[in-house]
Copies of this chain bind each other. A is one copy, B any other.
Amino acid sequence: MRIGIIGGTGDIGEGMSRRLSPHHDVVLGSREAEKAVATSTCTVDLLKERGVSCSCTGVCNQDAISGVDVIILAVPFTHLESTVKGLTGFEGKIVVTPVNPMEKRDFFVFAPPPEGSAALLLKKLLPGARVVTAFNTIAANRWKAIDEDIDVAVPVCSDDDEAKKIVIGIANGVSKIRAYDAGPLAVSAMVESLTPLLLNIARYNKMKDVGIRFV
């Protein structure tokens, strides 16, 4: 598949490009195309060193939408609305949100928008898109550490069953990830709130990059 990553030069986006580009055509987007080109070159070189061939190019965010099948919004929640409002061409596309609305006080708390979750806000902003919640709980370091397995669960929500199946397939193709159907978009809040929980678990138990498994 052709997968566009909006915010592809952030830690999560860059890590995703390392894991997805051996299996898919990854188009990394950034506000500045030059930065995306630099990151994509870095991904290609890193994989080449390991004898892994891949497909990863860098473009501006808008160009990471045209011509791709799946768009991943690898942006922090605070930039989600402004980012998608500044771009066009989401209609009919699968749009994946790994976005977790949260606030940091002495600890992390889930802080959803009035719609109830980042996913439901996104559905309102992009009524023509096939919104899928996925990859919320994988820490940037785990995406980036390509010499280590990612052996965690990924709960996936969507109101579009076909889009959900496609994203579950993409997730199951990454390292040892096991993707699970977690239901419709209406329950995305329960998935997005896992991330502040895991950040607190890491902090209070002196752990790092904590993930989740269902057993």
Contacts and interface: CB of A to CB of B under 8 A. Distances in A.
A107 to B, nearest CB: 5
Across the A-B interface, give the 8 residue pairs with the lowest CB-CB distance, nearest first: A181-B204, A190-B197, A213-B213, A183-B200, A107-B183, A190-B193, A210-B214, A180-B201
5 contacts: A109-B190, A190-B193, A211-B214, A212-B212, A213-B213
A215 B212 contact: yes
Interface of A: 106-110, 151-152, 155, 180-184, 186-187, 189-191, 193-194, 196-198, 200-201, 203-205, 207, 210-215
A215 B213 contact: yes
A37 B186 CA distance: 43
A109 B187 CA distance: 6
A203 to B, nearest CB: 8
A212 B187 CA distance: 18
Contacts of A203: 183
A189 B182 contact: no
A158 to B, nearest CB: 11
A152 B213 CA distance: 9
Given A214-B207, A214-B212, A186 B155 contact: no
Given A155-B197, A190-B193, A191-B197, A183 B210 contact: no
Given A190-B110, A190-B196, A215 B152 contact: yes
